[in-house]
Structure 1
Amino acid sequence: MPTPYHHGSLRDSLLEAGRRQLLEEGVASLTLRGLAKRVGVSHSAPLRHFDDRDALLDAIAAAGFAELISELESAAGLSSLRARLTQYARAHARFALESGPLLELMFSVGPGGGAAEESAARFFALGGELLGERADRESGPLPYLLAATLEGIGSLVASGRLPVERVDEVVDEAVSMLLPAVEARLSS
């Protein structure tokens, strides 16, 4: 059922409604015209904020990365590398469980100079920091390896192939497998 737009930030309303629709119906269902109807505005109103459907998807993906970045930042405050990795990996799996189609969109948006690309770059840079890499150097392969591992787990969670009750077990095992490689890389 459409949620009528009543003053305020149309852009935020469109992003919120777009995210809900993405989670409920998938990325193929999203159109600017359909979203305008869902929010209760004219079909041309979204064009004031998004040039086209790709710009809308880019903004939704960027918002998703902002959520994962927040999880990275909260994990960074923990004292041990194992604790940081575990907290972040579990948060990533929770995100996949709650927002699987959004996670899929985030990691499928290719380079194009948009907000999602900038957010993804920040995500990987923070991942490197979480893993103990120095911020003044180009990221090594570890943040990408971690993201790929967690994306794989997230995909299994989102598709229902990994039962919810086994997520922590699998995440903990992934952290245990990655930790020696990360520690070895950091000591070299």
Structure 2
Amino acid sequence: MNRFSGYDLAKQALNGHTGWGASWRDPEPKANYEVVIVGGGGHGLATAYYLAKNHGITNVAVLERGYIGGGNTGRNTTIVRSDYMTEEANRFFAFSLKLWEGLSAELNFNQMLSQRGVVKLSHTQDELRSMRRRVNSARLIGSDLEMLTPNQIEQYIPGIDISSRPMFPIVGGM
């Protein structure tokens, strides 16, 4: 695996980024594998990595119809969240976050992990009731969620239109 450093980055920048080697191989498929993973997005790649790291299983094929890492992970960002309504799901995603936190250093590759909150908006009273149920369930099992009024949302997202004029007025959020 290539090792990268700030020196390499500066040197490549001065040389027009023409000297970078390939980051992965493109081998011919083998006749058989111990494990075949369908999907080369975040979950598929993480599965392949941890099979090798924790279980020594390296005879793995990752099949992806597009480009590696180009699914939801590459297009939209990966969100590790804890607004699930069961304790098991929240424990699972808390563990996932711990894995993400050390991955850039472990791989010597910037995963661009950026931990921040997510504001989800509701546009109807029915959505707001559903959010309130989700927030209450999650808080009972230890997640740090809270309901937000339109004014609180405006404090988090300056410039958002919380008036009653938009096609989809904001009635609250979490």
TM range (shorter): 0.3 to 0.5
Structure (1 or 2) with the larger CA radius of gyration:
2
Larger relative helix fraction: 1
TM-score between the two structures when normalised by the length of structure 2 = 0.32
TM-score between the two structures when normalised by the length of structure 1 = 0.30
By relative contact order (CA 8 Å, sep 6+), the higher-ranking structure is 1
Larger relative strand fraction: 2
